[in-house]
Amino acid sequence: HCEQALRLSPFDQSLFAFYMFLGMAHYCNGNYAEAVNAGRKSMSERPAYTANLRVLTAALVAAGRHTEAIGIGKRLLILEPSFNLTTYERTRMPFRDAAVRCLYGEHLRAAGLPQ
C-alpha cells in the first residue's frame, strides 16, 4: 500500500511517513536492506522524524551496519533525550507480533539506546 501511495502521489507532503511505513513493512518481512533504503528516504524528507529514526536504527543493526545504527540512535536521543526502551516497549512500540517486538527491541538495544 505504501508503494502504491508513493506512485500515486510522488510529491505528497507526507512522503516521510509513507517511506517510514514502507521501511517498517520491509523490516517486519526481514528485508533489512530495503528497510534501510526506505528509512534513508524518509530521513531525507524529514530528518527529525523520530519514528523513522527508530525503524532505521533497528534496520541498520539487522543489516549488520552497527556503526551507522549507533549514529542514528544518537541522533534520536538528541531529539528525544528522555527516550528509553522500557517506556517505549510498554506504551508506543508499533508491533503486535511478539517475535517482531522482541527482535525490534533487541536491535534497538544493540544500537545503544538506553533501557
Grid coordinates belonging to 18: 509513507
pTM above 0.85, yes or no: yes
Q: Can you tell me the mean pLDDT for 67-80? A: 98
For 66-80, the DSSP string reads HHHHHHHHHHHHHH-
Residue of 4 and 64 predicted with greater confidence? 64
Grid coordinates belonging to 12: 505528497
Structure confidence by residue, pLDDT tens digits, 1-59 = 888 888 888 888 999 999 999 999 999 999 999 999 999 999 999 999 999 999 999 99
Of 37, 35, 39, the C-alpha closest to 49 is 39
Q: How many residues does the chain have?
A: 115
* Measured distance CA(74)–CA(11) in Å, rounded: 29
Helix (H) or strand (E) holding 106: helix 98-110
pLDDT score for 7: 84
Grid coordinates belonging to 1: 500500500
Give yes or no for a contact between 51 and 16, defined as CB atoms under 8 angstroms apart: no
